[in-house]
Amino acid sequence: MAATAHFEVAVIGGGAAGIVAAIASKCSGRSVVICERLPRLGKKILASGNGRCNLLNENLSEFFYNPSARHLVKSIFSKFGKPEIATFFKVLGLHTYCEEGRIFPATNQSSSVLKVLEMGLKRLSVPVEYDFQVENVAASASGFLLSSASGRKVSCSALIIASGGKSYPALGSDGSCYKFAGEFGHAITAPVPAAVPLTAKDPICHILQGQKIFASAKAVVDGNTVGEADGEVLFTKYGLSGTAILDISRDISVAVNRLHSKSAVVVLDMTPFMDEPELRTELARRLKDGFPPEELIAGILPNKFGAALAGLLETKDAAAIAKALKSKEFTITGTRGWNEADFTAGGVAASEIEPETMESRLKKGLYFAGEIVDVDGCRGGYNLAWAWASGYVAGQSAAGRQI
């Protein structure tokens, strides 16, 4: 590439949102380039869904996203929602199937999703500038000028920032582009990890590390319930993980990491298959029959729990034991870091983005897409759905403006 190359549209970030944005712009007849800081595209796509890529959900609506972003999400999905996303991938050649509302590639491999996207870019002859670490974004007479750490430069009439949030920085999204949005006047909601394991101060976590159970989990912040989920709970040496914990972690992370709340608790019902009176009756029967404390909950919870809850079981109080098993409290001390967070909560304020186009309300010709925006959804394909949809709308809008 020459010292400075000009394109009608430039996209910062070669992840889910950036690739789709580039395809949409090129299909609208514009010259477009992707500037990607890594040596290849879509590394985060490859890691998504434990390598299966849960790319969409049958039940797609704004109510599965953070409340402050729902107006924006609703508008974007009205333009490019579930039917349009499904058609987009079908045209690219991807076959899919649905499992309990979650949509996966028929191959069960994330690499298939990335492959069809790369094939689409190749067919459209979209150039990619790899190892392009953007160091500066400046407004110019013709639009924008991007400068890389290696001295390469790209000028463009319209710019789409689709560089992701801060989760899994080794996969390409390290939050480095928030500063560019800030330089154009945008407010940045402090990013915090979401869908992330929690750290807890409780000795039984260490005793039970590696143990999984099915449980009902409730997040309580400053005395108020902020989230509930059923699913797997994994005890770790540092605290709690598993699908149920990831599903309730977002509001706890915001409370602990952004708002500095003083009280965050996870309440576990470790026997959701039995109500409290039934459990109390069963425990009372076992006590009457002379069960020793270490065997009192055998067959109800895994064997490790006998040792982990020894102090409680030795009370031989059926009502107290039942209550503790149905509402065990864990004091949350924090979250694990960005390398263990599936998503980012926070980013460019949704209120500062045009809901029809994804264009900045503060700088004409500047667009945002994907996780860099303060939009985060539930687990289950919602975050990738947002990436595809916002990327497509941003790409088409950037191409459609008068350049």
In the chain, where the domains are located: 4-193+344-400, 198-335
3-state secondary structure of 91: helix
Of 235, 261, 24, 243, nearest in space to 121 by CA: 24
| Other Cβ atoms closer than 10 A to 285 | 11
**CA dihedral in degrees (112, 44, 396, 33; nearest 10)?**
-100
Say what the pLDDT of residue 170 is.
86
CA distance linking residue 160 with residue 138, whole number of Å: 13
Phi, psi of 181 (to 5 degrees): -60, -40
Contact status, residue 58 vs residue 101, Cβ threshold 8 Å = yes
Length of the chain: 403
Q: Which amino acid is at 83?
A: P
pLDDT at residue 4, as a whole number: 86
Torsion of CA 255, 188, 8, 34, to 10 degrees: -40
Pair 363, 348: CB distance under 8 Å: no
- What one-letter code names the amino acid at 190? A
> What are the tens digits of pLDDT across the range 74-95?
999 999 999 999 999 999 999 9
Residue carrying structure tokens 């706890």: 252
Options 3.40.50.300, 3.40.50.970, 3.30.420.40, 3.50.50.60; CATH of 4-193+344-400:
3.50.50.60
β-bridge partners, 57: 102
Grouped pLDDT means (10 residues each) for the chain, 403 residues? 83 98 97 97 94 96 97 98 98 97 98 98 98 96 94 97 94 92 97 98 94 98 96 98 98 96 96 98 97 96 96 96 98 96 97 98 98 97 98 96 56
Which pLDDT does position 355 carry in this prediction?
Answer: 98
Each residue's pLDDT tens digit, 171-183: 888 999 999 999 9
How far from the centroid of its chain's Cα atoms is residue 396's Cα?
A: 24
CA torsion, points 137, 42, 343, 175, in degrees to nearest 10? -20
- Euclidean distance between CA atoms 182 and 203, whole angstroms: 43
Give the H or E element holding residue 226: strand 224-235
| Euclidean distance between CA atoms 41 and 102, whole angstroms | 24
